[in-house]
A = this chain, B = another copy of it.
Amino acid sequence: MTNTTRPFSAVIWGENRHEQVDPKIAARYPNGMHGAIAAGIAPHLPKDSRVTTVTLDDPEQGLSEETLASTDVLLWWGHMAHHEVTDEVVERVHRHVLAGMGLVVLHSGHYSKIFQKLMGTTCSLAWRGEPDRELVWTVDPTHPIAQGVPNPILIEQQEMYGEFFDVPTPDELIFISAFTGGEVFRSGCTWKRGNGRIFFFSPGDQEYPVYYHPDVLRVIANGAQWVNSDRPDRAMPELRRAYEGEFTPKSEDAR
């Protein structure tokens, strides 16, 4: 849907710390979770899409002005190092989202600085690390993000995320998850901020192989396409001084 001439560009930002410090996680995700996500969503994207990954340890934390300027959609996975992301990088990403870059926030990214800044709330929730079975129910069956997956999506083992999820009322609530423990969670939500669109999707944890689950990958790919802007230019909303007479009707046109 983009009007630009270059191919669709999705960048997965991976914190990539669990993968370095925990051998079990490294074994589960030998290319990192970001690598698994990139490989998993690519087949669902338009043929000439460019899907790349960057990590926290890259120069400028992987998110230079140049990188962001050429990124249509940024996907974000972080957890143990949220505090290491510099305020400068957060400001930069925030500016690009408001200017029209799409953002997909995954799982523990709910507690990232950038998501908190865009939401204006704590983004806190209830959680339990012991394995639960998660059922992801569609409550907005016409939404493009819900296409191509069963209702419900069944995830055999997953960390529990439960309400109250302290986020602003979603513009659209697409998925609600149920956990074996009896909890529920608004697990697929969209918001608009400025000229940008945001999709949050909660399934996915370093302790479980969720980012190999075909339905989860399909939803993430759907989300990446949905947050992609079809506006021709990237620009932040700005104060605009208006002048008298800009829309004064001519006397012959209207009384």
Contact = CB atoms under 8 A, between A and B. Distances in A.
A14 to B, nearest CB: 22
B173 A122 contact: no
A78 to B, nearest CB: 15
A139 B163 CA distance: 7
Nearest to A3: B147
Given A165-B139, A237-B166, A254-B132, A160 B118 contact: no
Contacts of A164: 137-139, 141, 151, 237
A242 B183 contact: yes
Oligomeric state, in copies: 4
Given A127-B240, A239-B127, A144 B230 contact: yes
A112 interface: no
Interface in A113-145: 117-122, 124-128, 130-133, 135, 137-142, 144
User: Chain A interface residue count: which class?
Assistant: 35 or more
A147 B192 contact: no
B242 A162 contact: yes
A192 B255 contact: no
Interface in A142-169: 142, 144, 147, 151-152, 154, 156-157, 160, 162-166, 168-169
A247 B183 contact: yes
Contacts of A236: 122
B166 A169 contact: no
Contacts of A140: 169, 192
A189 B135 CA distance: 22
20 contacts: A1-B144, A98-B122, A100-B142, A120-B120, A121-B237, A122-B236, A130-B244, A132-B255, A141-B231, A141-B237, A147-B231, A157-B253, A162-B242, A168-B171, A178-B182, A178-B183, A180-B249, A180-B254, A181-B246, A184-B184
